[in-house]
């Protein structure tokens, strides 16, 4: 289990937003095995935006609520529309690590009930957007990175605000909330490469509270 004090001090990237380098380094193999187990139940799929465009990252979810996108819009559901069953349970390790990171970032009593799992292959990315589908935006977003590195862009509350660009690498955790909770952010296309544990993929686990 990651010790709250076992890692270097976080890098502050914006008000109430910080990056923990290598926070997951002791548990990466277990986390990757859990992703395999979850997606054996609820497989990765390429969702479609409300405008009809397929997303380049493949997605799945675990927890009480899963995030989906289709012609009806972006939303959370208790049922995986692909399988017709409830999403797989969120592993205890996922919850404890997300809570530890949130606590270190100054967000107390964070209890995620949804984990969106993104799988990026080389060339896949995510355009500039806000995470605004959650009703209680006092709760932060906690984001895990595993596998290939990526250039992440973090802006302000307006789409045209300047963007900061920095690398997210295997084992990093990014937490943002409070004054930065609705900041725009994007994932630049993943570059070609092979990670020794994850292969030619980047996994991103994004924890949210949907209550």
DSSP 108: T
How many separate helices (H) and strands (E) can be counted in the chain? 2, 13
Q: How far apart (Å, rounded) are the C-alpha atoms in residues 93 and 38?
A: 13
Q: Using alpha carbons, list the distances in angstroms from residue 182 to 47, 94, 138.
A: 23, 23, 10
Task: Flag whether 74 is marked binding.
Answer: yes
DSSP code at position 105: T
Residue 131 assigned ligand-binding role: yes
For residue 82, give every residue at least 6 positions away whose Cβ sits within 8 Å of its Cβ, in sequence order, or none. Answer: 42, 43, 45
**183 carries a ligand binding annotation:** no
Annotated ligand binding at 118? The verdict is yes
Is 75 annotated to bind ligand?
Answer: yes
Residue with tokens 């399988």: 83
| Residue 76 assigned as binding residue | yes
> Using CA atoms, how far apart are residues 173 and 39, in angstroms rounded to an integer?
21
Residue 206, marked binder: yes
- Residue 205 annotated as binding? yes
Contact 147, 122 (CB under 8 A): no
Q: Say if residue 160 carries a ligand binding annotation.
A: no
Q: Is 204 annotated as a binding residue?
A: yes
Residue 62 in marked binding region:
no
Select from 1, 35, 17 the least CA-distant residue to 173. 17
Q: Is 203 annotated as a binding residue?
A: yes
208 assigned to a ligand binding site: yes
115 annotated ligand-binding residue: no
The Cα–Cα gap between 35 and 6 comes to 24
137 is in an annotated binding site: no
> What's the sign of the alpha-carbon dihedral 121, 129, 28, 67?
negative
- Indicate the annotated binding residues for Fe cation: 129, 131, 185
- Indicate the annotated binding residues for 2-oxoglutarate: 118-120, 202-208
- Indicate the annotated binding residues for substrate: 67, 74-76, 133, 159
- Indicate the annotated binding residues: 67, 74-76, 118-120, 129, 131, 133, 159, 185, 202-208
């Amino acid at each position: 289990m990651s010790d709250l004090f076992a890692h270097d001090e976080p890098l502050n990237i914006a008000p109430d937003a910080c990056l923990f380098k290598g926070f997951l380094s002791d548990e990466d193999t277990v986390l990757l095995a859990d992703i395999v187990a979850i997606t054996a139940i609820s497989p990765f799929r390429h969702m479609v935006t409300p405008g009809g465009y397929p997303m380049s990252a493949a997605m799945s979810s675990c927890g009480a609520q899963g995030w989906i996108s289709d012609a009806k819009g972006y939303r959370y559901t208790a049922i995986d529309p692909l399988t017709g069953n409830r999403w797989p349970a969120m592993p205890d390790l996922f919850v404890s690590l997300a809570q530890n990171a949130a606590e270190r970032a100054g967000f107390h009593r964070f209890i995620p009930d949804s984990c969106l799992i993104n799988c990026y292959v080389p060339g896949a990315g995510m355009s500039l957007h806000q995470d605004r589908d959650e009703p209680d935006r006092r709760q932060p977003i906690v984001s895990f990175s595993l596998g290939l590195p990526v250039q992440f862009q973090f802006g302000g509350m307006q789409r045209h605000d300047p963007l900061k660009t920095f690398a997210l690498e295997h084992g990093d955790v990014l937490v943002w909330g409070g004054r930065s909770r609705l900041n725009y952010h994007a994932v630049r296309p993943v570059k070609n490469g092979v990670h020794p544990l994850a292969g030619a993929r980047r996994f991103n686990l994004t924890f949210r509270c949907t209550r």
